[in-house]
């Protein structure tokens, strides 16, 4: 019988994290092989996921396995150990761009059916829906989340505080959210008293019943919610905000999460586009419809589709676009040099990262003139928008946070088994006609019903009981282990959270709470409580549902550490395995621009280093391998040294970048291995590498920095050429040769 080596699965994803992987993974493999640990790779990039979905369109040699499905299966196996880097949750424009690139490279995957008519086209749309938006994380996150800044990282940030914009009490920046007609206002929630199947249907005015979703199987004790956002209320809200911004002379910005909330938020975004460019759509609406303009894809869709028009017509439309800008309030820019506004593409402004960046900047965003300005931050859905206003109020009163002294806010997030919004994608509908939307059980009993109008967005969310119990356990354990108060951010006035509170109170009884401080507070009170502590240097664990997990794990780290890339993100899988995410941010498309333009990558892999160390520790626990333990300990030492010696990547071209930072990690790791005395053989194996890297430090750094400054070609964006990318990401012959000599 062959004994399988312990395996860590390292995901290949997209954009900056994938580029970083080309440099880091060969280093990691060199070290782990020594301990007999295999690091295998699994490509779950958006391109690989498209190819995996369409084997019937590809030649035999072009076909790829469905890696995501396989990883999903492995999340149910007790010794699974996955390191997951951030991946693109593709908006529709990104998905279309990836398809175009693959087709140009000879992969005959079908065109994206933008306006499906036939059954075949509708089927294609269903297949592409599996790749669209947040399609990876909900599959892999079969556990709840534990995100925190490790003590060494927090200490480093306190000793080397990043810059913070100034907050003035006179700042006009504020958050605008709907006061009626949104999901919050209409939410209903209940806990199931038995296992059953439910259907989602619309009873139209003429009595006809339209089935929207035939069957969702629910378990006893599961919580379900039904809610809708009124299109009329949303559009009226946008009108009011535009009028108010215009009248009071403040810039306006829009913050949604169209990638993760992949069905509802593109529609919410699209309405903003149509209201802002009302005159344009009034004049050219018919033509736009013929051309297939989709406002949910932003103004990028208008610019793309008018390309087919004669120059004269295009010029007329351009003038009308400019007239809208002149008539409406100033809109925040994504790239003022290129004239790209907040309404250009739904993936350009993603609320979890964009709101913290604005708050860190003293409440300012970029205006059309390239200047920083106060902004009216429009976040239509009120459920969670209020937390940002609360933080803004605090900053206006107390000034900007001080990273040198502020406390820390780790998060324990409820997300397992497609909890809450993560499981809502196939249960979210743009209502086709006025009527009553209802959830009906298998005995014909109406569980919930709501009066809706055509164009409203209606959805159902669910969260199973076992994940809630696990989440409460994780929170109590974290509170005990770190001797830190834990606050459940739950609002008793929100029906879903009122149901959750009942369960939290019940499951807290499973634990001995002596000496553990636990609170349950509404979001605004929780935010205030946390901020009052944070400015006094005290830590507070936030225990939240899925959306606040997402928001808070960018918000606090960006204030505390300057970026959420430095977070330790652990997902203890409920079936016993582990998923280690790297950082809490995304795939940083701006970094790719800098690499291709100037051959400098500023991606910070600290998240990967931290994830790898805990992943190795887990291997040691699971297999009892002393070498895995030594690798983990020495990696942590190397990471600490890298921070102390400031060998993180610089954002500036010409200075140490991601590749240089990886070199230093390798050097410090080899030194730490060579210096340890628990395993002499391992020390001897790494001593020559440590020696070679220290002796050649200057040469290697010079080789790594020398390539910078010029544009490079990776042979693709979504499907880059592996050989070209490897050559770009591993440019030091001396370093490569030293690594190759370990075996
Ligand atoms: N876990 C996941 O899989 C996630 C995926 N995403 C996906 O990522 C993409 C981009 O999302 P976006 O909202 O722009 O957020 P990002 O977190 O990718 O980018 C925002 C900014 O954060 C900084 N940043 C993030 N990570 C790092 C890092 N490791 N090192 C240095 N700086 C970092 C960069 O700042 P600067 O430019 O100043 O250097 C970057 O421009 C989208 O496709 C989104 O769907 C988003 C969140 C999580
Ligand atoms: O799943 C996604 O699309 C984004 C997830 C995310 O932003 C997060 O987990 O912080
Ligand atoms: Mg996030």
Q: What is the Cβ-side half-sphere exposure of residue 256, based on CA atoms within 13 angstroms?
A: 27
Q: What angle do CA 196, 199, 202 make, to 5 degrees?
A: 155
pLDDT > 70? residue 550 = yes
Grouping H, G, I as helix, E, B as strand and the rest as coil, residue 652 is coil
Residue 122 Cα to ligand 3 midpoint, Å, equals 31
pLDDT > 50? residue 690 = yes
Residue 692 Cα to ligand 2 midpoint, Å, equals 40
Is 151 assigned a ligand-binding role in the annotation? Answer: no
Average pLDDT over the chain, rounded to an integer: 97
Cα–Cα distance between 43 and 68 in angstroms, integer? 8
548 token code pair: 């606040």
Nearest atom, ligand 1, residue 554 CA: 17
Contact 507, 472 (CB under 8 A): yes
Helices (H), strands (E): how many in the chain?
A: 27, 24
The preferred substitution site among 142, 259, 581 for testing ligand 2, maximizing ligand atoms within 8 Å of CB, is 259
Buried b (16+ CB within 10 A) or exposed e, 180-207: ebbbbbbbbbbebeeebebbbbbbbeee
The two beta strands, 38-43 and 7-12, are: parallel
Cα–Cα distance between 207 and 201 in angstroms, integer? 12
pLDDT > 90? residue 50 = yes
Is 619 assigned a ligand-binding role in the annotation? Answer: no
Residue 41's contacts (CB-CB under 8 Å, 6 or more residues apart) are 9, 10, 11, 12, 25
Cα–Cα distance between 562 and 301 in angstroms, integer? 33
Residue 385 Cα to ligand 2 midpoint, Å, equals 17
Mean pLDDT for the stretch of residues 262-274: 97
4 token code pair: 């399988």
Contact 302, 258 (CB under 8 A): no
DSSP for 540-560? -EEEE-HHHHHHHHHHHHHHH
Using CB distances shorter than 6 Å, the residues near ligand 2 are: 89, 134, 137, 259-260, 352, 550, 553, 584
Mean pLDDT for the stretch of residues 664-670: 98
Cα–Cα distance between 501 and 423 in angstroms, integer? 20
Is 147 assigned a ligand-binding role in the annotation? Answer: yes
Cα–Cα distance between 580 and 481 in angstroms, integer? 19
Going by C-alpha positions, the residue among 496, 437, 493 that lies closest to residue 222 is: 496
Question: What are residue 461's DSSP bridge partners?
Answer: 225
The model carries a pTM of: 0.97
Mean pLDDT for the stretch of residues 719-737: 98
pLDDT > 60? residue 224 = yes
Cα–Cα distance between 671 and 684 in angstroms, integer? 11
Cα–Cα distance between 634 and 644 in angstroms, integer? 15
Weakest-pLDDT range from 286-290, 334-338, 489-493, 676-680: 334-338
pLDDT > 80? residue 2 = no
Cα–Cα distance between 121 and 589 in angstroms, integer? 31
What is the rounded radius of gyration, in angstroms, for the C-alpha atoms of the chain?
Answer: 26
The two beta strands, 333-335 and 340-341, are: antiparallel
Residue 552 Cα to ligand 1 midpoint, Å, equals 15
Compute CA distances 178 → 99, 374, 441, whole Å: 36, 20, 32
Nearest atom, ligand 2, residue 133 CA: 3
Compute CA distances 518 → 85, 447, 488, 514, 580, whole Å: 32, 33, 8, 10, 26
Residue 274 Cα to ligand 3 midpoint, Å, equals 27
pLDDT > 90? residue 89 = yes
Q: Using pLDDT thresholds of 50, 70 and 90, give the confidence band for residue 1.
A: very low
Mean pLDDT for the stretch of residues 341-355: 96
The two beta strands, 435-441 and 446-452, are: antiparallel
Nearest residue by C-alpha to atom 5 in ligand 1: 586
pLDDT, tens digit (0-9, with 9 covering 90-100), for 98-110:
999 999 999 999 9
- For ligand 3, a single-atom ion, the residues with CB < 5 A are 352, 550
Is 46 assigned a ligand-binding role in the annotation? Answer: no
Cα–Cα distance between 38 and 401 in angstroms, integer? 43
Nearest atom, ligand 1, residue 602 CA: 31
Q: By percentage, how much of the chain surpasses pLDDT 90?
A: 97
* Domain locations along the chain: 7-142+573-740, 231-398
Ligand nearest to the CA of residue 565, numbered in listed order: 1
Nearest atom, ligand 1, residue 607 CA: 29
Residue 52's contacts (CB-CB under 8 Å, 6 or more residues apart) are 64, 65, 66, 67, 68, 69
Residue 58 Cα to ligand 2 midpoint, Å, equals 30
Using CB distances shorter than 6 Å, the residues near ligand 1 are: 86-89, 137, 259, 347, 350, 353, 563, 565, 583, 585-590, 602-604, 607, 651
ipTM over 0.90: yes
pLDDT at 3: 56
Helical (H) or strand (E) element with 729:
helix 722-729
Mean pLDDT for the stretch of residues 205-216: 96
174 token code pair: 């504020």
Grouping H, G, I as helix, E, B as strand and the rest as coil, residue 58 is coil
Mean pLDDT for the stretch of residues 404-417: 98
Mean pLDDT for the stretch of residues 519-530: 98
Contact 552, 531 (CB under 8 A): no
pLDDT, tens digit (0-9, with 9 covering 90-100), for 286-322:
999 999 999 999 999 999 999 999 999 999 999 999 9
372 token code pair: 């920083």
Cα–Cα distance between 376 and 83 in angstroms, integer? 38
Q: How far is CA 583 from the centre of its chain?
A: 10
Q: Using pLDDT thresholds of 50, 70 and 90, give the confidence band for residue 742.
A: confident
Helical (H) or strand (E) element with 424:
none
Mean pLDDT for the stretch of residues 60-85: 98
Mean pLDDT for the stretch of residues 410-417: 98
Cα–Cα distance between 47 and 290 in angstroms, integer? 30
pLDDT at 339: 87
């Amino acid at each position: 019988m062959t004994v399988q080596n312990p395996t860590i699965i390292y995901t290949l994803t997209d954009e900056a994290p994938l580029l970083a992987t080309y440099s880091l993974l060969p280093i990691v493999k060199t070290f782990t092989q020594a301990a007999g640990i295999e690091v295998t790779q699994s490509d779950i990039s958006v391109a690989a996921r498209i190819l995996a979905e369409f084997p019937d369109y590809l030649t035999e040699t072009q076909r790829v396995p469905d890696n995501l499905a396989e990883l999903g299966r492995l999340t149910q196996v007790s010794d699974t150990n996955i390191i997951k880097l951030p991946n693109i949750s593709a908006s529709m424009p990104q998905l279309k761009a990836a398809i175009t690139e693959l087709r140009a490279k000879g992969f005959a995957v079908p065109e994206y059916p933008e306006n499906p008519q036939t059954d075949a086209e509708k089927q294609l749309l269903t297949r592409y829906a599996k790749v669209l938006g947040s399609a990876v994380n909900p599959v892999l996150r079969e556990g709840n989340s534990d995100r925190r800044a490790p003590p060494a990282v927090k200490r480093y940030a306190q000793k080397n505080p990043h810059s913070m914009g100034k907050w003035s009490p006179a700042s006009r920046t504020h958050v605008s959210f709907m006061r009626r007609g949104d999901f919050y206002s209409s939410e209903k929630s209940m806990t199931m008293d038995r296992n059953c199947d439910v259907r989602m249907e619309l009873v139209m005015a003429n009595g006809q019943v339209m089935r929207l979703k035939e069957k969702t199987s629910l378990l006893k004790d599961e919580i379900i919610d039904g809610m809708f956002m009124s299109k009329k209320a949303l559009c009226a809200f946008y009108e009011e905000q535009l009028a108010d911004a215009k009248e009071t002379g403040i810039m306006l910005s829009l913050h949604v999460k169209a990638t993760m909330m992949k069905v509802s938020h593109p529609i919410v975004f699209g309405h903003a586009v149509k209201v802002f460019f009302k005159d344009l759509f009034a004049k050219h609406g018919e033509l736009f419809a013929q051309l297939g303009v989709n406002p949910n894809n932003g103004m990028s869709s208008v610019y793309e589709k008018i390309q087919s028009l004669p120059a004269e017509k295009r010029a007329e439309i351009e003038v009308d676009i400019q007239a809208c800008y002149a008539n409406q309030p100033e809109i925040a820019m994504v790239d003022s040099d290129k004239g790209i506004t907040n309404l250009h593409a739904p993936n350009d402004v993603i609320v979890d990262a964009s709101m913290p960046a604005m708050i860190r900047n003293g409440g300012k965003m970029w205006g059309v003139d390239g200047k920083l300005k106060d902004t009216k931050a429009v976040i239509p859905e009120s459920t969670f928008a209020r937390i940002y206003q609360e933080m803004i109020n605090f900053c206006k009163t107390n000034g900007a946070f001080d990273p040198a002294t502020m406390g820390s806010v780790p998060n324990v997030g409820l997300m397992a088994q497609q909890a809450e919004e993560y499981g809502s994608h196939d249960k979210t509908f743009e209502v086709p006609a006025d009527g009553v939307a209802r959830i009906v059980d298998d005995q014909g009993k109406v569980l919930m019903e709501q009066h809706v109008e055509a164009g409203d967005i209606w959805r159902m969310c669910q969260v199973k009981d076992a994940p809630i119990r696990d989440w409460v356990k994780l929170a109590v354990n974290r509170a005990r282990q770190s001797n830190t108060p834990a606050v459940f951010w739950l609002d008793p006035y929100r029906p879903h959270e009122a149901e959750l509170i009942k369960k939290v109170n019940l499951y807290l009884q499973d634990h001995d709470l002596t000496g553990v401080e636990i609170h349950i507070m509404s979001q605004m009170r929780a935010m205030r409580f946390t901020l009052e502590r944070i400015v006094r240097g005290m830590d507070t664990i936030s225990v939240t549902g899925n959306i606040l997990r997402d928001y808070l794990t960018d918000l606090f780290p960006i204030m505390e550490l300057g970026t959420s890339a430095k977070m330790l993100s652990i997902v203890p899988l409920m079936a016993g395995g582990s998923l280690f995410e790297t950082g809490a941010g995304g795939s940083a498309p701006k970094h790719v621009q800098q690499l291709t333009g100037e051959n400098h990558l500023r991606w910070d892999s600290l998240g990967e280093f931290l994830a790898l160390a805990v992943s190795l520790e887990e291997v040691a626990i699971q297999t009892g391998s002393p070498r895995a333990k030594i690798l983990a300990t020495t990696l942590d030492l190397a990471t600490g040294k890298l921070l102390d010696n400031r060998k993180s990547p610089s954002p500036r071209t010409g200075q140490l970048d991601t590749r240089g930072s990886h070199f230093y990690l390798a050097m410090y790791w080899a030194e730490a291995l060579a210096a340890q005395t628990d395993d002499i053989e391992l020390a001897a194996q790494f001593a020559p590498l440590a020696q070679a890297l220290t002796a050649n430090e200057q040469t290697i750094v010079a080789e790594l920095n020398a390539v910078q400054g010029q544009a490079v070609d990776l042979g693709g964006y979504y499907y880059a050429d592996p050989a070209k990318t490897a050559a770009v990401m591993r440019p030091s012959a001396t370093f490569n040769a030293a690594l190759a000599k370990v075996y």
